[in-house]
Structure formats: structure tokens, C-alpha cells
Amino acid sequence: MKLTLACSLILVAGVLSSDSDASGRLTGGTATLVGQFPAAVSIDSPYNLNCGGTIVNLQHVLTAAWCVMHPTTFGLVNTHWLRIIAGDLNLVPGSYRREIRSVSHVFVHPNYDREANNNDLAVLRVDRPFPEFHNTIEPAIMNSQDLAYQTPCQYVGWGAPSASGPLNPTQRTITVPIMAIVECNVATVHNFRILTTMICAGSLAATPNTTCQGNIGGGIYCNGRLTGVLIFGLACGAANQPGVYVDIRQYRQWIEAQFSRTDTLPTGWVPQPL
């Protein structure tokens, strides 16, 4: 289903003004500059999931599996309900740089486990390729190296000043250092939920610069390379809730294998956790 730019702006405005929408928020941080994160996109669905995502080539976007699963049936949503906004720093109003795409195929990791947040990845194929890359739309380079403790990384998304505040439609970024998994897995923090396929990044202390009530699926960049996909740890400024990300270095082969798939997962498809 193709939407015109005018209709798309109306839909985005409706999402931003909804008091019930608790997603898509990022507290603190700084406003990004044009071309600073050209791979970052916003993903809309009728369930107000309003996730983040990352362009990985001309026709594919990487995000979290949670973003494309129905919140009550837990099956795959109708892919034609998904919409991707790329190339723009502001959700409202849009600029001439904006590119909107519908989604033709969704490939969810077959062993996604929503209870454990394990294998929480999905690759989205857009209905028509993004334009040849330039400074506002460009694929992310995926990280292939292990990262040292306290490596400073950047998370990018669209934010708000608090969990209860209105959505700020301006793209922002926060700096979050890599943390040790053992540090994040203590009972007072993430209570052993973090697996070896995940990365923990942020702070145990209360800080205004955190992910908050959404932006699930957005990317964390370390040394300028896409390193992880946000899956939980939405602190909203509170202590002991650092962000947790899928370590895409460990899923590189699976991600790239989706680019050439020709099958279609049907609406309602359910993954099979191990």
C-alpha cells in the first residue's frame, strides 16, 4: 500500500499527538545534524509501535522483531501496515530530503523468543529501493570487532524530555558507554536477562540522557559502525536501567542471508523459540 507524502504527514501528526502513545521517546541528548546518521529510520505501524531501524542496503532495513509482531496475538503483523521514514531529521514537518517506503517483506529471526528477548531481530524489505546513497540516506557499516569496556557509543532516535511528555519529532542522539554484562546482570539491574548475544550500554546512575519508552529497534553506533539493535532497558532517566542491544556482530551471517530470500512470511506467522 503506497501512501502519498501528504497522507503520510497526517498519519505521523496523529501519532505524535496521541496521549496514549508511549513509544518513540528518547530523553536528553543532543539534536543530530544533517548527514550525521544517514542510516537511521523511523518505522510506523497501526499499533503505535513507532520503532527505530537502520538502513543496511538499498532495499533492506534492520530492526527488532518486537516491532513487527502483533502485541496481543504475538504473530507477524500485516507487512503492508508498516511504513518507513528515511532521510529526514524531523518527523513533523517533513523536508524535501524525506523518502517514505512501504514494506513488501519481513523476515523475522526464526528463533525469536519474546519472553527472553533472544534473537530479537527482523529484516524489512522495502517496496522500492531507496535512492542512490547520498549524505542523508546511506547504509550503515556493520561492526565486526569486539569492543573494549567503556567504549563510547551513540544511540540515535526521536525523543521526548520525559516518559509522560509529548513526543519531540526532532532526531536526537545520546552517548552511551559499553558496560560489562556481569555489571548489568545483577539482580538490582537486569536480573540475569542479558545473554551472551547482547550488549549492555549506558549508565547505572540516574542520567537524563537515556532511551525512554520506545525507540526499540533503533541502532547503537560504536566507532561510527552499527553495533547493536535496542531491545530493552528503557530507563527514562532512572538508575539501574542501561540499554540492552542485540550484538549484530554475532548475527551478521543471518542478516545478510535475508537479502536474497524469495519466500514470504504470512501474516500471523509465529517464530519457534529454541
Residues 6+ apart with CB under 8 A from 204: 179, 183, 189, 239, 240, 242
Q: Are residues 118 and 215 in the same domain?
A: no
The Cα–Cα gap between 158 and 24 comes to: 6
Report the mean per-residue pLDDT for the chain: 86
Q: Could you give the C-alpha distances from 66 to 18, 50, 159, 176, 216, in angstroms and in order?
A: 21, 11, 19, 22, 8
Residues 6+ apart with CB under 8 A from 226: 39, 54, 56, 62, 140, 141, 142, 143, 219, 220, 248
Q: Are residues 234 and 183 in the same domain?
A: yes
Q: Are residues 120 and 183 in the same domain?
A: no
Would the CA dihedral through 150, 203, 183, 242 be positive or negative?
negative
The Cα–Cα gap between 171 and 158 comes to: 4
User: Which residue stretches of the chain have pLDDT < 70?
Assistant: 1-27, 48-49, 159-168, 212-214, 235
Per the listing, cell 535475508 goes with 258
CATH code: domain of residue 183: 2.40.10.10
Q: Are residues 16 and 105 in the same domain?
A: yes
- Can you read off the three cell numbers belonging to residue 5? 507524502
Q: Quick one: pLDDT at residue 160?
A: 56
Answer whether residue 29 is part of any domain. no
Q: Tell me which residue range forms the domain holding 210.
A: 152-250
Would the CA dihedral through 209, 214, 216, 218 be positive or negative?
negative
Q: Are residues 11 and 110 in the same domain?
A: yes
Q: Are residues 125 and 166 in the same domain?
A: no
The Cα–Cα gap between 57 and 37 comes to: 14
Q: Quick one: pLDDT at residue 13?
A: 37
Q: Quick one: pLDDT at residue 213?
A: 59
Answer whether residue 27 is part of any domain. no
Answer whether residue 91 is part of any domain. yes
Q: What is the pLDDT of residues 183-213, one digit of tens each?
A: 999 999 999 999 999 999 998 888 777 776 5
* CA diameter of the chain: 49
Q: Are residues 118 and 177 in the same domain?
A: no
Q: Are residues 102 and 161 in the same domain?
A: no
Q: Are residues 74 and 113 in the same domain?
A: yes
Q: Are residues 44 and 134 in the same domain?
A: yes
Q: Is 94 helix (H, G, I), strand (E, B) or coil?
A: coil
Q: Quick one: pLDDT at residue 22?
A: 36
- What pTM was estimated for this model as a whole? 0.88
The Cα–Cα gap between 169 and 253 comes to: 34
Answer whether residue 229 is part of any domain. yes
> Do the beta carbons of residue 217 and residue 106 sit within 8 Å?
no
Q: Are residues 163 and 185 in the same domain?
A: yes
Q: Please, which residues bridge with residue 125 across strands?
A: 60, 105
Residue 75: CB atoms within 10 Å:
14
Answer whether residue 267 is part of any domain. no
Structurally, how many domains does the chain consist of?
2
The verdict on whether omega for the bond into residue 93 sits within 30 degrees of 0, i.e. cis, is: yes
Q: Are residues 125 and 175 in the same domain?
A: no
Q: Quick one: pLDDT at residue 191?
A: 94
Residues 6+ apart with CB under 8 A from 266: 76
